[in-house]
Amino acid sequence: MAYASRIINHSKKLRNVPNLLRHDHAVLVRCFSNGAQSSVCKSEAAERERVSKFVACYHVSSGLPRNNCSRTTMRLGIPTGGVAYSRELTCSQVQSRRGFASDAGFPPHQEIGMPSLSPTMTEGNIARWLKKEGDKVNPGEVLCEVETDKATVEMECMEEGYLAKIIKGDGSKEIKVGEIIAITVEEEEDIAKFKDYSPSTSDSGAPAAKEPAAPPPKQEPVQQPVSSPEAKSKPSSPPSEDRLFASPLARKMAEDHNVPLSSIKGTGPDGRIVKADIEDYLASRGKDVSAPTPKTKDGKLEALDYVDIPHSQIRKVTASRLLISKQTIPHYYLTVDTCVDKLLDLRSQLNSLLEASGGKRISVNDLVIKAAALALRKVPQCNSSWTDDYIRQYNNVNINVAVQTENGLYVPVIRNADKKGLSSISSEVKQLAQKAKENSLKPEDYEGGTFTVSNLGGPFGIKQFCAIINPPQSGILAVGSAEKRVIPSSGPEQFQFASFISVTLSCDHRVIDGAIGAEWLKAFKGYIENPESMLL
């Protein structure tokens, strides 16, 4: 009877093996970022050992191959600002994000790491938390706003629980991707247990402290014999400098005018340097003796007055990308002047119609964007980018528009600008510019551009300038301001006035040859000087 009860008990445990395996899978699935380290405690190892024993028993009794479990493929959703990137991982490759109850007294919990919210992001800042410690969180709710290298993105919660501890508070800077920023628990009564919680760093810090302690005793005997000859050789140099004799007034004048006494030959008694020697030296160098260097009461030069402004994330990325562009892309520049009288007349007519119907006005920059998009469709070689193996030519014409804000330079994108009407382009530019100024652009608002337009003419009155290419693109158009010019008329000794703008095309010579760039500018100029053709 006892043997029968044992057999029944073991059969129940074997039937429960699939549930245990699914529980282990659930542990693997629950994570918030793809770069954070696991916080599995000692009890987790015991849990897995217990599961492995059941699995081993299950394989023996069922005859299934043992390696089937370790190669089970599963789907892992990694949250990146509301967009879940799906990637296939195996059970043997995934690190668990679940923290089990440990000897330190912490109940089961989850560590939320700084997610990678853009392809180029390596670190981020916490702009502000929208949830407080102790708040209940549900899937899809926004936990906090993360300032990435390009914009501020909302970070969403992926499962239900309670926010027990915020590790990185509002305004935290330069948090590496994967670094722990918060702790969540499943039960509300477990929140208080994480009041003094801090991520463990003992594993990484212990070996580092032991290594530097060993070398000092070995280096001391080696350095002692080397230092003694140096000390003996130094006293031999200063005697020549100490033998310079000068009157106190001469020394004061030399200090005020930064004159080295060693370069002056004294004419006083025993070769002493006197005031006349300093004046003769300054006169020979054409300096004014009566203009001493300004000094403070202590005799020191006045320090510069300055303020150190910390770099923002967008400033760091802009500086890095522009530096890479100028160092790696062979720029050349093509400039052309184009008459905009007909363009301005057409704009006035269209704005009259829009105002009558309650629409928004069209700017000259909207017309420039449209003309640039149509010219790219006509000369597709300029709508390309360089790679080491090939030149990629894009079928979509997506125009980035440079927008200057208090936080830095943003380049939101107008997608398929060649297929959109002027009213649609104008509306999108205004919306994206407002989002840029509010620092609320999302990655889809600025990624995927194939060409850039930068206009410093309209808002700032710059006549002409050369812009830096925005990699990986191969061209950028710099637009200057419109100005009235006198041009010859049809009759002799006759003239007329016309408005012109100067535009400069910056080209990547690896992709766009000079003749191709000139062809693109010719097409662009044709659309600007005959704007009716853009409406066809």
pLDDT per residue over 199-247, tens digit each?
A: 765 433 333 333 444 444 444 444 444 444 333 333 333 434 456 778 8
For residue range 76-108, list pLDDT tens digits in order.
333 333 333 333 333 333 333 555 445 456 788
CA–CA separation, 516 vs 311, rounded Å?
39
Question: Is the distance from CB of 113 to CB of 124 less than 8 angstroms?
Answer: no
For residue range 143-172, list pLDDT tens digits in order.
998 888 777 888 888 888 999 899 998 888
Q: Which domains does the chain have, with CATH numbers?
A: 109-193 (2.40.50.100), 320-534 (3.30.559.10)
- Residue 384 parent element (H or E): strand 384-386
Residue with tokens 């918030």: 32
Confidence grade of residue 294 (pLDDT, cut at 50, 70, 90): low
Residue 400 has pLDDT above 90, yes or no: yes
Residue 439 has pLDDT above 60, yes or no: yes
For residue range 111-144, list pLDDT tens digits in order.
898 888 777 788 888 988 999 998 999 988 999 9
For residue range 253-281, list pLDDT tens digits in order.
888 888 888 878 888 887 888 888 888 88
- Output the pLDDT for position 88: 33
- Kindly state the tokens that stand for 477: 């158009």
The catalytically annotated residue of 170, 280, 341, 513 is 513
Which string of DSSP letters, residue by residue, matches 168-202? S-TT---EETT-EEEEEESSGGGGGGGTT-----H
Identify the bridge partners of residue 185 per DSSP, sorted by sequence position: 109, 162
pTM for the whole structure: 0.56
- Output the pLDDT for position 248: 82
DSSP 198: -
- Output the pLDDT for position 153: 85
Can 257 be counted among the known catalytic residues? no
Is 8 in a helix, a strand, or coil? helix
CA–CA separation, 433 vs 410, rounded Å?
9
Pairing of strands 451-455, 399-401: parallel
